């Protein structure tokens, strides 16, 4: 997605910085991240290009929040790897500034469990046909998962893979919302179809 916010004629130009940001800087506006260019369009237009598709951050309670930035179809996987949670979306570009996390700007974020002070991991998948795969092959994720598929009414899905469990429980509040318990792992979901 490209937003041209100031299209200039050839008699004038913008150079140097935009809103105090140098060429190539990343700007956060609302939940979105943009890369600033003062040489876009015909060469002298200011452009803001959405830089990341998915962000990982901590909320005020220390919960990990994975959020759709640009409303596209997400295909996220979460798995425990050692003392970390790995979040992957092939072909997408993920961003995080959580202390200790690695993978910013790639398709896989590795986030230490020790950096997640809260008890929850929340996926806000937003618009688009989204899929979350919870891979339990590395063990319980040690956090309660909440997966919000988003308000659009087709195509959001949840998959559970990996692991062997003595018990599982499935509670559907209605056709779109409910919870799944597998062993000690609890996954709440809303807005799935």
Binding region for Ca ion (CB under 5 A) = 68, 74, 125-126, 128, 130, 149-150, 156, 191
CB closer to Ca ion, 66 vs 116: 66
With vertex at residue 98, the alpha carbon angle to CA 187 and CA 140, rounded to the nearest 5 degrees, is 30
Which residues in the chain belong to E strands, given as ranges? Answer: 2-6, 17-18, 21-22, 26-29, 32-40, 45-50, 54-58, 64-68, 75-81, 84-88, 94-96, 108-112, 120-124, 131-135, 144-148, 157-161, 168-172, 178-182, 185-190
Which residue's Cβ lies closest to Ca ion?
150
CB closer to Ca ion, 71 vs 183: 71
DSSP, collapsed to helix, strand or coil, labels residue 29 as strand
| Cβ at position 115, least distance to Ca ion in Å | 24
| Cβ at position 164, least distance to Ca ion in Å | 30
- 136: tokens are 């339990």
CB closer to Ca ion, 36 vs 192: 192
| Cβ at position 25, least distance to Ca ion in Å | 26
- 37: tokens are 């260019």
CB closer to Ca ion, 40 vs 150: 150
| Cβ at position 67, least distance to Ca ion in Å | 9
CB closer to Ca ion, 40 vs 126: 126
Cα distance between residue 39 and residue 4, in whole Å: 11
Cα distance between residue 135 and residue 49, in whole Å: 32
| Cβ at position 108, least distance to Ca ion in Å | 18
| Cβ at position 95, least distance to Ca ion in Å | 15
CB closer to Ca ion, 32 vs 74: 74
Contact call for residues 189 and 158 (beta carbons, < 8 A):
yes
């Amino acid at each position: 997605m490209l937003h041209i916010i100031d299209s200039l004629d050839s008699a004038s130009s913008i150079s140097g910085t935009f809103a105090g940001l140098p060429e190539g800087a990343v700007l956060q506006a609302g939940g979105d991240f943009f890369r600033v260019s003062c040489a876009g369009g015909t060469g002298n237009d200011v452009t803001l290009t959405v830089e990341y598709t998915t962000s990982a951050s901590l909320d005020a309670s220390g919960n990990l929040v994975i959020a759709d930035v640009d409303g596209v179809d997400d295909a996220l996987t979460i798995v425990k790897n050692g003392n970390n949670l790995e979040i992957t979306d092939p072909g997408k570009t993920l961003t995080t500034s959580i202390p200790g996390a690695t993978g910013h700007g790639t398709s896989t974020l590795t986030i230490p469990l020790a950096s997640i002070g809260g008890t929850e991991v929340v996926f806000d998948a937003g618009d688009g046909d989204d899929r979350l795969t919870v891979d339990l092959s590395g063990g319980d994720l040690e956090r309660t998962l909440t997966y919000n598929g988003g308000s659009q009414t087709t195509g959001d899905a949840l998959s559970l893979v990996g692991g062997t469990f003595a018990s599982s429980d499935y509670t559907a509040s209605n056709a779109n919302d409910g919870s799944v318990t597998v062993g000690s792992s609890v996954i709440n979901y809303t807005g799935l179809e």
